[in-house]
Amino acid sequence: MTTRSFKVSFYETEIYEGKRGTTYTVRWSVNGRRHGETYKTSPLAESFRATLLVAANNGEPFDMETGRPVSHATPAAEVTTWYAFALQYVDMKWARISANNRKNTAKALTKATIALLRTQPKQFDPVAVRKALREYAFNKLRRDEAPPEVRTILSWIRRHSLAMSAWEDTKHVDNVMLALNTLLDGRRAAASSVNRERRILNVVIKYAIREKILKTNPLPKGKDDNAPPKPAQAIDKRSLLNPTQVALLLAWIAARPRTGHRLHAFFATLYYAGLRPEEAVALRRKAATLPESGWGELLVHTAEPEVGSAWTDNGTVHETRDLKGRAAGDTRPVPAHPALVAILRDLIERDGLKPGDLLFAGEKGGLLAGSVFRRVWRMARRAVLKEHEYDSPVGKRVYDLRHTCLTTWLNSGIPPAQVAEWAGNSVPVLLATYARCITGQLADLQKRIEGPQQLPGTARASQ
């Protein structure tokens, strides 16, 4: 659809006499779309009107959006503010990305928006400003539900947002990079968070280039002063649990009233089968093959990450997703240790689970909430571990049960390709993550090296 037209009509200049003085408004239309420009003096208004008339008489096309002759058009980067563009980007991207990606995008845009203001909103509470942007402005589902106090903040931000041309000034680019690196309390943000938000911002800028608002990507491409420290890929070996610790923790959890047996089975699944918590939460009875004895199998095919009801289309706390790094509808078989088979069989019999039922349902029958299993895990650590263990990284996160499982498989000599297949990782990611935790194979490896590296005659000399 064209945005230019040669059909231009002019009207009489409107004169308004008010208490604060007289104004003169030039009126014209482009292809039926009316436009106006107001001036404080008649000569200025007539000069502007004459400029438009000359352009029209010369046969110059007019832009239907701005109403100006094409030769007078203001660059989009000077017309569009960063805040307006960020809202446009959110609305364009919303239906195409996951709920978790929506939330992360809102976080990145919030930091960039505050950095790209003409002046900082010191009259508002900093937490309230971030909340207004993150949870309302950059949330398409909640924007129209913003309460009056939030609308006041957002109105102020809209008026004080810098134009997109600010990205051409390295000072403003540095301010944005610093904002991504810094938490509200001034501490440095985690490297993983900074890198994720930089990636998001790069996608946003590429969209601005595609829309012809910016010409080039101003974000730093190499090492810069605001670059975050490189995040550690390898897990901390100290976070791994030993079998005794796991046994004590699971026994304490199993002894809890009402749902202890169910949470015991949930944590055991992470420890013995290496599932991610969001995969275990989504597991149903029919996905488990559990013989009376020996090894079984779990068929993992869905994940239910917890992202918050404000970010999902159906208003639920969890978002149903396909498996990480897999094609839509793909499945992943995982071996079930005989000990886990016994635990799950006991759970199914005790709860009378049918094929379509969730294995680890919440107390009210829905999906098991992350806040519930994380709280119980913290309580178990406090109750079971010794003080120095509790203060250490050992088992600090529920996810450390999965780390412990995958490390056990690797240390047992299972080929990395097979472990990666069971875990739902790529081999490079698996090795980069767990390389420091592989132990118990040194003696065997030394024997393998000893033979080929033996120099002639050294064996006899050593005797």
Domain match, 262 and 380 both: yes
Name the least confident of 32-36, 186-190, 278-282. Answer: 186-190
- Give how far the C-alpha of residue 194 lies from the chain's centroid of Cα atoms, to the nearest Å: 11
What is the pLDDT averaged over residues 260-288?
95
Domain match, 190 and 165 both: yes
The residue behind tokens 């997703």 is 321
Domain match, 250 and 398 both: yes
Domain match, 350 and 279 both: yes
Identify whether 216 is part of a domain: no
**pLDDT band per the 50, 70, 90 thresholds, residue 462:** very low
Of 28, 48, 73, which closes a domain?
A: 73
Identify whether 29 is part of a domain: yes
Domain match, 186 and 172 both: yes
Identify whether 424 is part of a domain: no
> CA-CA distance, 116 to 81, in Å (whole number)?
9
Question: What is 224-271 written as a DSSP string?
Answer: -TTPPPPPP-SPPGGGPPPHHHHHHHHHHHHTSTTTHHHHHHHHHHHH
More confident residue, 60 or 229: 60
Per-residue pLDDT at 439? 57
Q: Kindly tell me if the per-residue pLDDT of 241 is higher than 80.
A: yes
Of 73, 100, 129, which closes a domain?
A: 73
pLDDT tens column, 8-49: 999 999 999 887 788 899 999 999 999 998 888 888 889 889
Q: Which helix (H) or strand (E) holds 8?
A: strand 8-10
More confident residue, 14 or 440: 14
What is the pLDDT averaged over residues 66-85?
79
Query: Cβ of 449: how many Cβ atoms within 10 Å?
Result: 9
pLDDT tens column, 334-360: 999 999 999 999 999 999 999 999 999
> CA-CA distance, 347 to 451, in Å (whole number)?
52
Identify whether 273 is part of a domain: yes
Domain match, 352 and 306 both: yes
* CATH number, domain containing residue 307: 1.10.443.10
Domain match, 200 and 141 both: yes
Domain match, 22 and 155 both: no
Identify whether 461 is part of a domain: no
> CA-CA distance, 46 to 13, in Å (whole number)?
8
Q: Which of 425, 435, 421, 223 is nearest to 324 (CA)?
A: 425
Domain match, 64 and 181 both: no
What is the pLDDT averaged over residues 194-207?
94
Domain match, 149 and 258 both: no
Query: Cβ of 388: how many Cβ atoms within 10 Å?
Result: 8
Domain that holds residue 24: 4-73
Domain match, 282 and 404 both: yes
Give the residues across from 454 on adjacent strands: none
Identify whether 219 is part of a domain: no
Q: Report in angstroms the alpha-carbon separations of 309 from 128, 141, 170, 256, 315.
A: 20, 10, 38, 29, 5
3-state DSSP call for residue 417? Answer: helix
Per-residue pLDDT at 68? 86
Identify whether 430 is part of a domain: no
* CATH number, domain containing residue 59: 3.30.160
Q: Kindly tell me if the per-residue pLDDT of 198 is higher than 90.
A: yes
Q: Which of 280, 295, 258, 252 is nearest to 395 (CA)?
A: 252
**pLDDT band per the 50, 70, 90 thresholds, residue 461:** very low
> CA-CA distance, 282 to 276, in Å (whole number)?
10
Query: Cβ of 285: how many Cβ atoms within 10 Å?
Result: 17
Domain match, 66 and 98 both: no
Per-residue pLDDT at 39? 86
Provide the domain count of the chain. Answer: 3
Of 57, 73, 89, which closes a domain?
A: 73
The 10 Å CB-count burial string (b at 16+, else e) for 325-362 is eeeeeeebebbbbeebbbbbbebbeebebeeeebbbbe
Name the least confident of 85-89, 155-159, 321-325. Answer: 321-325
Identify whether 440 is part of a domain: no
> CA-CA distance, 191 to 193, in Å (whole number)?
5
Q: Which of 114, 241, 127, 254 is nearest to 178 (CA)?
A: 114
